[in-house]
């Protein structure tokens, strides 16, 4: 991959981590939220999905960069 693509993947990963942090920490305030954990944190499954996509993006960029840097050293 090109350097711009790797940087773009890393920026996408950072953005996904930031959005997932907001979704993961969002808590709805209501009368029944103390009784049911799933109602108190309704967006946690979306946040975990974003973290997964961000991790894959970061891993792809890291592997591509390490392969390219090994080729430059030789």
Asked whether the beta carbons of 45 and 8 are under 8 A apart, the reply is no
pTM of this prediction? 0.76
**Phi, psi (degrees; rounded to nearest 5) at 41:** -125, 80
Asked whether the beta carbons of 22 and 16 are under 8 A apart, the reply is no
Please report, rounded to a whole number, the percentage of residues in the chain having pLDDT higher than 90. Answer: 50
For 34-56, how does the pLDDT look when each residue is reduced to its tens digit (9 = 90+)?
556 566 677 888 999 999 999 99
Asked whether the beta carbons of 57 and 12 are under 8 A apart, the reply is yes
Place of tokens 């009368």: 31
Residue 71 has pLDDT above 80, yes or no: no
pLDDT at 11: 96
Q: What residues does each domain of the chain span?
A: 3-67
Instruction: Categorize the per-residue pLDDT at 68 as very low, low, confident or very high, splitting at 50, 70 and 90.
Output: confident
């Amino acid at each position: 991959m090109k350097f711009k693509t790797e940087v773009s993947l890393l920026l996408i990963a950072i953005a996904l981590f930031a959005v997932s942090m907001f979704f993961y920490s969002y808590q709805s305030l209501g009368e029944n939220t103390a009784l049911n954990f799933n109602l108190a944190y309704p967006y946690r499954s979306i946040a975990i999905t974003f973290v997964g996509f961000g991790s894959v993006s970061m891993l792809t960029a890291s592997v591509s960069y390490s392969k390219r840097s090994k080729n430059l050293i030789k």
